[in-house]
Structure 1
């Protein structure tokens, strides 16, 4: 799969080939390597175990590992890219990932199935982006699951031991595809960047069961000594648009950095041979155009490009093809399709269904195949076509016959690119445009956030469509389609509240802040475990707490008792108007005055624990009672067992709702 084509071979192998013997030589070589890297956009990899070599030699430059990660990423080796990016985090030096590297790191994590970790990296990236953020949640995975298993796939017979990809429909029951199988060529005619033969265009026959057989190289001038790929044929079969290295008339073009970019050329069929290769006015030495597709009427060309003004690494553009064969001005297809990543390999069926590959839309890692469904406002709803077409590797070059529901796509899930036949078993599931409704709920009196509020969502027919709870920060988010809704807020000890919400087409996210008022008649609350708490009762009993233990004759709360106190903390945070009075008691053993002071210190220590956990001081009181409130016969002078004394060694937590 071509992204860019370079005239020279470079760079990180400096480090492996020369080795390092001191910090001076290490820094010198790293600086030289980084300079070469920066000049060439990304490095060539000649060794799959380069990462392991660097680790073995104990390299500690995050910049080198980050750029090594980039090199692996651009080679589609996400496994090794992830190793390299992860090493940057392990070194914990002053290196900061660029925005592009954060994006690549997140994609490498996705490719490994580590979606939650990828989400954290994307969140970090979004905080730095000046442009619109990318999806940082993992909710889209359920949408992908919904669209999955709609296709059957199978490797085609025409695949070789070299990379094969990029099928295009040709004559009846024929395709043209891209391959590097021309293994008998001399070194001079191999790509210095990959070490493999240059890509050529081949034709193959489609069998009745959708396989590809009998591959043959296309005759004529369409195949040059350099790269060519991804053609599209006009409806009359007389012209072909295709991707090629910047090479025409035995002249190899390059930009100011000696980089050979990609161009789209047009060939004409003459005596059953592709001839008369034409350059297009949309091309330029300083940027790439690649992977053309045609609208069904043949009046415009869609292609991938990294030209100035692109939103990401490559965007999709559309350009008018005029009746005389000349071209209008290319137009970016917009932010509903293009992202900060790669959008590429467009394809449009004869019935107008639009597919493309992207690593910036919400996917499984690497390039995924997406369907773009045009809305009435001329924007697109983007749908991941799901597994098994998509995987954690690069999946791209999707083409399908809208009549037979059979087609092909390409993937490097087996290391090199290979072509798969595909059969659609059922169409894309119904797409429901949903709007996110997000909110935070507060206590009306204190302004504190209210966790564990039950929210019920009813539609206009009073049918319950969703039910959920606020989190510990009192926040929630829910997605709902267009329509009218009633949000009902319920929390024990509070008056019911509701909101009426209308979600209209074109709405962005809806934000709601809500304040709930304490129910003045409430005599009972409920904790998150369903325990009933009565006003004026001891929380030790109502919350089923275990005894609170301190060090012998000390005030340090034992760790196992901290877990019990945390249950009280959670209750107080759930009900911000409630207060607690801490009452510390001892048994009658020992001096009365000592016991009183010990209990006072323990009461204060418990109060301090609550304050450290975020409970305000005006909600917590405490007092030590010593041995003044013995619960049984075990007063001074009465012989009792330790078990009987233990009943008197206690802490009480008397709650007040303060709801009047």
Structure 2
């Protein structure tokens, strides 16, 4: 018994570890997806599908990955599987239709657009979906970003918020507290400076305003425009934008314009010193808005140098091991247009974000994200949609390492001043999922009815489990729920759960349900069949093992269980002989259970049905192998009562 318990514990631990590992994979895949790392995300979603863990959800996400990667052939393959799922969100009808357009299957595409409309869907009509791009609908289907105002905006221009080591750096034209203000002639605001504050200290002290006292310490700020900036991983080097001004000398181009340049500064003794100009700057054009990749060996920037595609383009330059720089490289025409591309920024998954007025957008400058293929080549860009973008300028997008939070700036209506910083929070969709299984044999129960209720006991969803007993339902966050599983041959099971106070990164709540059989239930699958040798009715050793399991179930686990015994034969022999043989088998089974301590009153009948209930076509009209006949020489157990 100790050995059996030990083995059972080991099995349970292995199962739990496996489930936990798969949950971790899904969380990893969702995190990569949220960071626009669609190639890596697709690989993990494939693993989840192969392991049959939350496969419906992973299939939909995998289809989305291929859509973002501009791979309509594979997108069609997985969207086709997605739209066959029970209770699939209807936007996947439209996504499938758009992917079908990508493979020029216009007839089928129109059919799925019709289904989308018939299901209550509304075709997106926003400006950036008019180009017919089959991926645009994904971003316009549901709001993913939620905005909040920060408390460090001013009546002037504030933008370029960047967070590192719990410190927030940003660029602002406020110059409050200074008796003599120098004004920028373009907009009659003070020149831009770089500010920084420690979030923890600020919150602990209850501070709200950021003043001239919070200007970054050292030599970064000058009498002209300074910022935005980026800092290396080790925190020792800063790259920042500044007007062409260094060592108290202002530089101008042939038209008398002072352009932007990128400088670097070194952190020493709690201050930024040793400001140096980078070698690829020029007096004749602007170079600014620096950003670093995660390894710190590539510096991205915006520049209107003459070899570009239009106004201002995004470039990068290699940073060599000795600190020297390579030659600037234009990112190409997938990113750059005849318009202006500015404010590049990369997250820790190497996904590039930038603002542009040249790509199709909602307003003036819009924020876009880039899509890379497996080789790291940028193959497409995506408009982030509302509410990140508006009819005004939206720019300086920064995503934190979690892929869910960050900052951007906008001059949209409703702000405090000119340009304002907004914080964003990306909230992934949340599902409740689970498997409905039989309490006796742990087998999944297909076609079980799942009913979801809200905290007020109002029904909000109704569906059936699939062939694997699995269900999945989209739910809201910050809500209470009750889920009920039912099937006419079982007693109901229910669970109460909540989506309140869970991490934003969590996308799935698991609620498995276990149903107990009631009268006239189906034959037990694993424990409910024993087999006999040809023309024999004695209990074989393998059958005795199965019968011992039933004894344990009835005497230890379910003392209220009542069963019925039904025995059968194969088709060989006469009908009369087989009737008698099946009765003998029923009697042998009955006597074995009684001999092991089962109360006879808990076995309502032990009957033989001869060859009348064959499990296959081996009725004597065709030749069958012995293993086929064996399946018919059996005894089955029917649960009559569990209570």
TM-score, with length taken from structure 2? 0.43
TM-score, with length taken from structure 1? 0.42
